[in-house]
Structures are given as structure tokens and as C-alpha cells.
């Protein structure tokens, strides 16, 4: 199956269990993590996960809501965006 790559961006205050909760959600929904990076930028914990959503069976809205819920529970901002927006904006 052709890969469908999106970025999950997590922003906020670093705490235990962020990766665990998100990767658990992804694993249960047949979504593979291709790459994972994190950094402190402007005093903020920023983590990006490049994920392949081609195996996800439901509309993306559902995944988005599940990520938002984790974000609310843990006081973080979590976004899901197709990788093409970053490629277009940051690569000539």
C-alpha cells in the first residue's frame, strides 16, 4: 500500500507518558511511526512524529479528535497535518 505520511506535532510542557499515550493510540489504529524527533524551541517542548496513516480505516476526523482528547488530558497542543504542507512551505 502507498504510504500516506502525516506529521503529528505535540507542543507544550514536557511530561511523562506523552509518547506512550500517543503511540498506544497509533498502534491500536494500525498507524506506523516512521520517524520521531523532539526539541526545546523558544522554551517549549516540541515533538514531531512522522506517521503513515494509510492503514487507518476511519475518517481522519476521528484520529484528530482522539489526538485532541490526549492533548486536552495532558495540557498539550497536538496537531495532525499531511506532510505535503511542510514540503511545500519549506522546500523549493
Contact positions toward another protein, by CB under 8 A?
Answer: 7, 9, 11, 35, 37-39, 41, 46-48, 50, 60-61, 64, 77, 79-91
H helix or E strand, kind and range, residue 84: helix 83-90
Q: Supply the minimum distance, in Å, between the C-beta of residue 10 and another protein.
A: 10
Q: Supply the minimum distance, in Å, between the C-beta of residue 21 and another protein.
A: 19
Q: Supply the minimum distance, in Å, between the C-beta of residue 49 and another protein.
A: 10
Amino acid at each position: 500500500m502507498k504510504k500516506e505520511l502525516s506529521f503529528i506535532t505535540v507542543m507544550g510542557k514536557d511530561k511523562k507518558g506523552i509518547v506512550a499515550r500517543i503511540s498506544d493510540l497509533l498502534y491500536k489504529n494500525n498507524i506506523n511511526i516512521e520517524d520521531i524527533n523532539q526539541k526545546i524551541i523558544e522554551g517549549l517542548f516540541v515533538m514531531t512524529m512522522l506517521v503513515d496513516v494509510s492503514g487507518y480505516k476511519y475518517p481522519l476526523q476521528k484520529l484528530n479528535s482522539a489526538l485532541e482528547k490526549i492533548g486536552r488530558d495532558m495540557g498539550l497542543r497536538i496537531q495532525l497535518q499531511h506532510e505535503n504542507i511542510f514540503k511545500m512551505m519549506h522546500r523549493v
